[in-house]
A and B are shown apart, each in its own frame.
Chain A
Amino acid sequence: MDATDLARLQFASTSIYHFFFVPVTIGLAFLMAVLHTRWHRTGEARDERLTRFFGTLLLINVAVGVVTGLVQEFQFGMNWSAYSLFVGDVFGAPLAMEGLAAFFLESTFLGLWVFGWKVLPRGVHLLSAWLVAAGAMLSAAFIMAANSWMQHPVGYTTDPATGRPVLASMGDLFTNPVFVWGYVHVILASLVTGAAVMLAVSAWQLRRGRRTFLTSALVSLVVLLPSSALALGVGSHLGVIEATYQPMKISAAEGQWETCQPCSFSLFQIGGFASSDEEPTKILEVPHLLSLLATGTWDGEVTGLNELQAQDEARYGPGDYVPDVGVQYWSMRVMAYLGSAFFLLALWGAWLAARKKLPTSRVFLLLATWAVPLVLVMNTAGWLLTESGRQPWIVQGLMKTADGVSATVSTGEIVASLVAFFAVYLFLIVLDVVLMLRFARRDPDAPQEEPADDDRDTPVLSY
Chain B
Amino acid sequence: MNLADVWFVVIAVFWTGFFVLEGFDFGVGALHAAIGRSEGERRSAIATIAPFWDGNEVWLVVGAAAIFAAFPAWYATWLSALYLGVVLLLLALIVRGVALEWRGRGRGSSWRGAWSVGLGAGSVVAPLVLGIALGALLAGLPVDADGAFTGGVRDVVTGFGVWTGLTLVALCLFHGATFLAIRTTGPLRARATVWAGALGGVALVAVAVLAVWTVLISSPGWPTYALLAVALLAIVAALWSARRGGEKRAFVATAVAMAATVGSLFASLYPDVLVSSTEAAYSLTVTGSASGEYALTVMTIVAAVFFPVVLLYQGYTYVVLRRRVGGEPTPADRSEEPHPVAPGE
Give chain A's interface residues, CB within 8 Å of chain B. 59-60, 62-64, 66-71, 73-74, 76-79, 81-82, 84-85, 87-93, 95-101, 103-105, 107-112, 114-116, 118-121, 159, 166-168, 170, 406-409, 413, 416-417, 420-421, 424, 428, 431, 435, 439, 452-454, 456-459, 462
Cβ B292 vs Cβ A88 within 8 A: no
Per the bound structure, the CA–CA distance linking A168 and B292 in Å amounts to 9
Interface CB pairs A-B, < 8 A, 13: A63-B98, A78-B80, A84-B75, A84-B76, A103-B58, A104-B314, A110-B54, A111-B54, A111-B317, A420-B91, A424-B91, A435-B102, A454-B43
**A-B contact sample (15 more), CB < 8 A, given A103-B62, A166-B291:** A63-B98, A71-B90, A77-B79, A85-B76, A96-B70, A103-B61, A108-B317, A112-B321, A115-B50, A118-B334, A167-B291, A170-B298, A413-B153, A454-B326, A459-B104
Cβ B61 vs Cβ A77 within 8 A: no
Cβ B62 vs Cβ A454 within 8 A: no
User: With an 8 A cutoff between CB atoms, is B105 at the interface?
Assistant: yes
Cβ A66 vs Cβ B54 within 8 A: yes
Per the bound structure, the CA–CA distance linking A435 and B105 in Å amounts to 8
Per-position 1/0 for B302-339, Cβ under 8 A of A = 11001100100110110011010110000011111101
A121 — nearest CB in chain B belongs to which residue?
Answer: B334
B60 — nearest CB in chain A belongs to which residue?
Answer: A70
Interface residue range, chain B: 35 or more
Chain B: minimal CB distance from A91 (Å): 8
Chain A: minimal CB distance from B46 (Å): 9
Cβ A428 vs Cβ B58 within 8 A: no
Question: A118 — which chain B residues lie within 8 A by C-beta?
Answer: 333-337
Question: A167 — which chain B residues lie within 8 A by C-beta?
Answer: 291-292, 294-295, 298
Given A73-B64, A459-B50: A104 and B70 interface contact (C-beta under 8 Å): no
Given A100-B302, A119-B320: A88 and B69 interface contact (C-beta under 8 Å): yes
Cβ B44 vs Cβ A77 within 8 A: no
Cβ B58 vs Cβ A73 within 8 A: no
- Minimum-distance CB pairs A-B, first 8: A88-B72, A92-B69, A77-B79, A453-B40, A63-B101, A99-B62, A81-B76, A81-B80
Per the bound structure, the CA–CA distance linking A309 and B237 in Å amounts to 70
**Given B72, B90, B291, which contacts A70 in the complex, CB threshold below 8 Å?**
B90
Cβ A166 vs Cβ B292 within 8 A: yes
Given A59-B101, A70-B93, A99-B58: A458 and B43 interface contact (C-beta under 8 Å): yes
Chain B: minimal CB distance from A424 (Å): 6
Given A76-B68, A81-B76, A96-B68: A453 and B54 interface contact (C-beta under 8 Å): no
Cβ A63 vs Cβ B66 within 8 A: no
A113 — nearest CB in chain B belongs to which residue?
Answer: B51
Question: B335 — which chain A residues lie within 8 A by C-beta?
Answer: 118-119
Q: Chain A's interface: helix, strand, loop or mixed, by majority?
A: helix
Cβ B93 vs Cβ A104 within 8 A: no
Question: A109 — which chain B residues lie within 8 A by C-beta?
Answer: 313
Per the bound structure, the CA–CA distance linking A82 and B61 in Å amounts to 21
Cβ A457 vs Cβ B76 within 8 A: no
Chain B: minimal CB distance from A241 (Å): 25
Chain A: minimal CB distance from B57 (Å): 7
**Given A89, A100, A110, A454, which contacts B72 in the complex, CB threshold below 8 Å?**
A89
Cβ B102 vs Cβ A60 within 8 A: yes
User: With an 8 A cutoff between CB atoms, is B212 at the interface?
Assistant: no
Per the bound structure, the CA–CA distance linking A111 and B337 in Å amounts to 22
